[in-house]
Amino acid sequence: MSETELIQPLTAEEIQSGIVEKVCESLWEAMTKTCNLYGVSYPKFSAKGTIDCVFDNFGQDINDRIQFSVEIDIPHTPPNVFRRQTSQAVPVAVEREDGSVEQKAVIYKRPVGRPRKLGRADGTE
């Protein structure tokens, strides 16, 4: 049986998923090539940038063209606040029955339906 690829417009979900994947790949590649974070801890960091997007239906109609920009602004955020906001493990000290202390990690999941939004510990943006 022979297969022929069909060329069809991308669905909204395919576009969203693909853009997120490409942005993540590019950012990961840039960070691993230009700033070696291996084995180093930082008490704070910040990130800022803009992504410009254009969706065009082959220029058939001016109304078929959509442009928008995404502003990315991650302010200096305390480490455990950032870990919670990004669903990462938060280190905790646990005292055992014998009195010894052990370090463990607790993962705080984002509530379902809550949009991802990073901000300061005091609730301001």
- Other CB atoms within 10 Å distance of the CB of residue 106: 12
Q: How confident is the model at residue 3 (pLDDT cuts 50, 70, 90)?
A: very high
In a domain, residue 105? The reply is yes
**Domain ranges, residue 99:** 78-112
Kindly tell me if the per-residue pLDDT of 25 is higher than 90.
Answer: yes
- Other CB atoms within 10 Å distance of the CB of residue 121: 13
Helix (H, G, I), strand (E, B) or coil at 79: helix
For 35-86, the pLDDT digits (tens) are: 767 667 888 889 999 999 888 877 666 677 788 898 999 999 999 889 888 8
Taking residues 84-103, report their average pLDDT: 89
**How many domains are contained in the chain?**
2
Kindly tell me if the per-residue pLDDT of 21 is higher than 90.
Answer: yes
Q: Which of 49, 45, 51 is nearest to 20 (CA)?
A: 51
Pick the last residue of a domain from 76, 96, 120: 76
Residues 68 and 28 grouped into a single domain: yes
Kindly tell me if the per-residue pLDDT of 32 is higher than 50.
Answer: yes
